[in-house]
Amino acid sequence: MAERGITMLDAPVSGAEPGAVAGTLAIMVGGDETAFEALKPVLLQMGASATRVGPLGAGNVAKLANQAIVAVNIAVLGEALVLAHRAGVDPAAVLDAIGGGLAGSNVMKAKGPMMLAGGFNPGFRVELHAKDLDNALATGHETATPLPLTAAVREMLAALSASGQDDRDHSALVSYFERLSGTELPR
């Protein structure tokens, strides 16, 4: 492409369908800085932020990091809600109590209610998150970067897949912990 005078940027996004609809995506961009600055106004028509993180390919690495962080957050949220329930505390009250503190996050706001409701209609499917974690783990292997937490959540997603849950939202990770503890959250 460069030989033909074409500049390319990689620009994966975070925010899923709700972010796309609302125009609030976070856009992670890799590529030439001049090209990025020229196209940034276009990107900002689709997202609330567009950040150049490095040369071509860096946007994809930022997306892999994003997916690892999201996966681990969703998993521990499910684990914590099951813990609260097993200890006799209302999981919904726990979400309300901790949402404004350090544990509060966009993951908690978006996925906590889904976990409590239990419908798991896909916003981001288990099978797609598994693919992203496979890519993150491959990049970790290529760069000699251990990713033990990402690997653990990838195995949890494999368990969901094995039980026929590939097409459910990744918030269905809570069901992994429900199965381990032999309980279900009140719904």
Which residues are designated catalytic?
Answer: 63
| DSSP state letters, the chain | -GGGT---EE--EESHHHHHHHT-EEEEEEE-HHHHHHHHHHHTTTEEEEEEEESTTHHHHHHHHHHHHHHHHHHHHHHHHHHHHHTT--HHHHHHHHTTSTT--HHHHHHHHHHHH-----SSBHHHHHHHHHHHHHHHHHTT---HHHHHHHHHHHHHHHTT-TTSBGGGHHHHHHHHHT-----
